[in-house]
Every structure is written in structure tokens, then in C-alpha cells.
Structure 1
């Protein structure tokens, strides 16, 4: 019985090695590891029945039931699914929840169809614990700079030009504001944390001397940053991007109007895509209704709806109008208030070029 122990965890996660997750689909859906595929030994119903049997009658009875449920044609189908994948990915590694009975039995059945593959000792639970420990260790040992600035100043665009950064919003698939939802769904909390840990490990392996992150609240959409990591971000020095308002309006127009409209249309077609895009933006406006106040909300919503009509005619001016109004009356006052509480952390301010130069100098020091 060939296994890979905890000393292999890092290499498995950083090498993009294909991983076969043997857990039931309901387990996989809650979270898995990058580069893993769900080819379960048991489906959700079978797993539930075996689990109930284990609680009531013990391990031996549960094992016996499992063999009764997964045999004959069912067993052959699962063996063929493993074989098809392993024929294409012969270096894949197996894992179940704890690296126990499911891994051992699957390994045996996979050998029957011509593949000898190792499984991971400790399974999902062991590697998940390892990843959380890595996040805590790396963020505690690495010098951290936090890039802030007013809404629309281009923090994400700025970060994408750097090798020493991690794009938290990219990992979360959310832009971090009321208007920040994307066309595709966010990852689960576990998937977000696992991918974040792997990115931090890659950052360390690349020999980066500092970690540059965007200024974020703990929640990015519906996923949250690890508590200890976010606490360290709240203590790290702030570097502020300063950009004129016209440029900010145009960037928001691109990010939240034209690009998102195009994404919906690509996914859903012209008519339905544009309709879903309208619902997307109107819902975002509705989510900040209480903060705007009823009258201001109604006014901006009306301008946004006019913007949709004008957009179909080739004009984006109405969209620019509500964006500028939101900056003037909502986002900028809120940002200034929050910044006042953190002025002692501000270590540098400048445009994109100046901040890049400053951070590059710090990386060499």
C-alpha cells in the first residue's frame, strides 16, 4: 500500500499534481484542493447510509454495508471512471477525508483496472490543517504593505502589474463592494481559504521579500479572510494611490458597466444578457438604499435606468452621472471618514508610477 505523508503536502499542492477526491459529492462541494476532481467511492446516499450504520452498529457493519452498496455494476462504473481519468493523468494521487478506509479500498480497486496510485496520509483533513497553518505562518513572517485609495483609483489594476502581490478579490471572485458581484459565483469559504494558502506558498517559494495586498474589509462578498491574517493587515502600513476623479469615473464605468454587461451578454445572449445585467446593477443600487436615503436612492436609480436606455443607443453619459454622484455623496465621504481613523498607518501617497517605484525600492531594502 503506497502512501504519501505530510512531508509531501507542499510539493503536491505547488506542483499542480492532479488529485482524485474520493469523498462523496456533498463533501467535495463544501471545499476541496486546487487541481482536484471528484471521483467518489460512494455517492451521497450511499455515504449517508454507511455513516448511519457506523453510528448504530459499528465499523465492521458499516464496511459490510459499503461493500453491498458498491459492488457489481456500480463498482465497475466507478472503476472505469477512475481508469479514464488515470489514463489521461497517470501521475494523479488519491485522497479521502482522513486517508483511511475509502482511500485503501479505492486504491485496491484502481489496481484491479491497471493503475497503481498512492493516496495521501491524513487525507483532506490533514492537508487542510497544513494549509491553514501555512497561511498563519507566512502572513506572520512576511513584511506586508496594504494598498488603499478611493473607489475607482485602480487598486486591482495596480496590483496586477506586480510580482509580489496576491489578488484577494480575484481569489474571492468579487470586487469587494456593493457593486462587486461577478457574473460567476464566488467560491465556497473553504475553497477560497485553500487557494489563498496555496498562493501564499507560491509567493514564499518565489522568494518574494514582501507581500502587497489590497486594503480589504474582512468580508469580500460572502467569503471572509482568515481572522489572524486580516488582523495583521489592519496593523500593516498603508500605501495610498491618488488618482483624479475623472479617471476614477472612467475606470468604474469600465469595470462595473461595460465589462459586466459584456460578460452577461457572452453568457446569456444579447437580450437576456442585457436584461440580467440591468437587474445586476439595480440590485446593487438597492443594497445601499438605507445608506443613501430613500430620495437619493430613487433619484440615482432613475438615472441608472436612463443609463440603460442610453447605453443601447451608444451613450454612457447617464451612467457616468450616477457613478460620479455615488462617489461624491457616498463612497468618498465614507472613505475619508475611515481614513481618518487610520492616518497613523499611512506611510506613502502617490500616483500609480510613484507607488510602484516606492514599493520596488522597499523590496530591495
Structure 2
């Protein structure tokens, strides 16, 4: 039984299992959360069939595909599909357009294993289109509040306490600054957009019409904010979060030194992870050397080198505060203050963590509005 287009929403709201039978090269460019790639043809087989199709047409291409995927190769792939289906009987299967490849897999499963697994009509392309339309509708029909503040003031922590927050940095798997790269890769642009759309879909299904997002630039690492979302955010009301330099430096130390180093060690082991973390930290500072100016860059790099050496020798990280506080006060703060001037007219509230959380909490309920404009500017 085929599902209909109006059931795409149920697939993503229900986190239903998805069997993706496209080639790995297609899957790696873009896929859906939780989808499992068990291809009908691998990349080389797909390439050869594509050449045959261009040279001799569809029937010749089908014949070559059946020849390439036959015997033990076919048996192994059917066994893998069968294992997935028995583990996830409530799921669906798709190829790029819901056409020949997924239909072939469906028929083979029926003939060889006596199993029927439903197809997604329109396949990957139709679901991708549905998510693009979902994201654009959410941006057009929802209200947004942008959370701003100086680097290290705890915007991400605060967003984590709000049910109607959309964590753009979380979806991009990047902390959004020159120092924000994780040891594991960011998603592709398509996957970033897909998870963002599903987040909007789920929150709107719960009745939320107002969303809180952190103020971001055009790029979060190598993930670009969708144009319509970036334009809407640039015109949306802003709430500004305050915190002291000492608290911000302590938070940066925890997030970008202690926690990030632990991430690298978890991925690569202690020795290699520590070395890779130190190399990335140095490179992150080097990446903004031109904007810092050579004298300032060399001064901060020397402090960082001493801190990393001390961290390596005895595990003490406190020396990192030196370059962190200098970088905040001499580089990031002046840059953010300049940006803040351009958004002052749309700033509707300003305060510390407690005050901002309390204010934004009034916008957290389903179908809630902004309330009146409040100012607690300091």
C-alpha cells in the first residue's frame, strides 16, 4: 500500500524508519534523520548503468543493472533489506523519485522473501520538496524573537531551557564562531536544512507560533542559513542578554577548552585528541589574525601557547583565561557592540540570564505572542 503525499508529515512527526535504496554518493549529499542507506546499486554500479542508459537507452540500462546485481550480490542485498524490514516493520522505502529502483527492491522482496514494504510516492525528491515548503511556510507564518548578546554570555544555554527555541548551532553542529568547530564533521547543507525544517514541523504541530533563535551571521561554519530565514531574523524583535566579562570568560573556558578538548579525546583517544585539539585552537586564532592585527595576534598566540603547554603538563586550564579575556574585550566585544547599534531600535528587552529567561518564558506557550515591548536596558 502506497502512502499519499499528505502523509509525508506523519513520517517526520513520527520519526518513522526510512530505507534509502539510493547509491551512497546520493545519500551522502543529502538524506533524512534516521534514514538507513542500503542501496540497490553501489556507486560504481550506478555509474556504469548511467553510462549504458545514455548510450543505449533504458532497457539496456535495466539489463546491465540486473546483470551487475545478481547471484550472491543480489542475495546479500536482499538479506540486508529483509533484516531492516523485520526490525522496522512500520517504515517506508524510497529511491530518488520513487521509481524503478525502489519498485525493483519492493518486487524482489516480495518474490524472494515474501515481504511487502510500502514506498514513499515521489521518493526522496518529493520528501525534500515537502521539507523545503514546510520550512518556508514556518518562516512566513510564524513570529520570531532573536536572542543577542556578547560572546560567551550563555545564549545557547538559555535557549536550551525554552521549548520554543530553535537551536541553529545545534542543527549545524557548530558553535558559530571562529573557535566553534567540533571534532566530528558538520552536516551537509541539505541535511542541515532538513533537520531545521523537521524541528519547525514538530514545534508547530505542538501549537507553537513564536520561535526564539540565537542571532547568527549568514554562515554557521560551512552551513548557510536559508535566505528567507536570515531575512526574517534581520527584521525580527531582539532580546539582548547581559553577563559579566568574568562569567563570560569562565563559560568560554568551559565550552571551548575543557569540553571541546574532551570531545577530541573521546573521538581520537587522549594523546591524538589532545594534540588535535591544540592544533585546532591555534588554527582558530590564526584564522582571525588579519582582523586582529599582527601585534595582537602574536601576543595572544604566545599566551595560548603557554596555556596549552601548561594544560599538557599538568592538566591545568586556568592560564587560558588570559587570551580568552583579551580576545573578548579587544576583539569580539567591540565587534558585537557595533552590530548592536544597528539593531537597537528593534531590541524589546535586555537583561541578565534570569530576567531574559523570565521574559522569554512569556513567549514560550503555544500560540503566544510577544507581549508588550519591555525595556530593561543597562
Class of the TM-score when normalised by the shorter of the 2 chains: over 0.9
Report the RMSD for the aligned CA atoms in angstroms: 1.2
Are 1:188 and 2:191 an aligned pair?
A: no
Q: TM-score, normalized by length of structure 1?
A: 0.97
Instruction: Tell me by how many angstroms 1:244 deviates.
Output: 0.8
| Corresponding residue number in structure 2 for 1:122 | 122
> What does the per-residue CA deviation read over 1:126-152, in whole Å, with 9 as the maximum and x for residues that have no partner?
010110000000111111000000000
Corresponding residue SS for 2:316: coil
| Corresponding residue number in structure 2 for 1:293 | 293
Structure 2 spans left out of the alignment, 5+ residues:
370-378
Matches within 5 A, 1:69-148: 69-111=68-110, 112-148=112-148
**Partners in 2 of 1:165 and 1:308 — Cα distance?**
35
Corresponding residue SS for 1:181: coil
> What does the per-residue CA deviation read over 1:207-236, in whole Å, with 9 as the maximum and x for residues that have no partner?
113100000112100011111111111110
Corresponding residue SS for 1:91: coil
> What does the per-residue CA deviation read over 1:57-116, in whole Å, with 9 as the maximum and x for residues that have no partner?
221221121111111111111101101111211222100000000111000111221321
> What does the per-residue CA deviation read over 1:144-182, in whole Å, with 9 as the maximum and x for residues that have no partner?
000000000000000000101111101111000100001
| Corresponding residue number in structure 2 for 1:352 | 353
**Partners in 2 of 1:127 and 1:273 — Cα distance?**
38
Structure 1 spans left out of the alignment, 5+ residues:
none
Matches within 5 A, 1:25-44: 25-44=24-43
| Corresponding residue number in structure 1 for 2:244 | 244
| Corresponding residue number in structure 2 for 1:199 | 199
* Maintained 8 Å contact 1:164/1:208: yes
| Corresponding residue number in structure 2 for 1:149 | 149
Aligned length: 364
Corresponding residue SS for 2:40: coil
**Partners in 2 of 1:319 and 1:74 — Cα distance?**
55
Q: TM-score, normalized by length of structure 2?
A: 0.94
* Maintained 8 Å contact 1:5/1:122: no
**Partners in 1 of 2:52 and 2:352 — Cα distance?**
64
**Partners in 2 of 1:304 and 1:114 — Cα distance?**
64
* Maintained 8 Å contact 2:258/2:317: no
| Corresponding residue number in structure 2 for 1:315 | 316
Instruction: Tell me by how many angstroms 1:309 deviates.
Output: 1.9
**Partners in 2 of 1:201 and 1:229 — Cα distance?**
15
* Maintained 8 Å contact 2:85/2:117: no
**Partners in 1 of 2:52 and 2:141 — Cα distance?**
46
Are 1:306 and 2:306 an aligned pair?
A: yes
| Corresponding residue number in structure 1 for 2:259 | 259
Instruction: Tell me by how many angstroms 1:314 deviates.
Output: 4.3
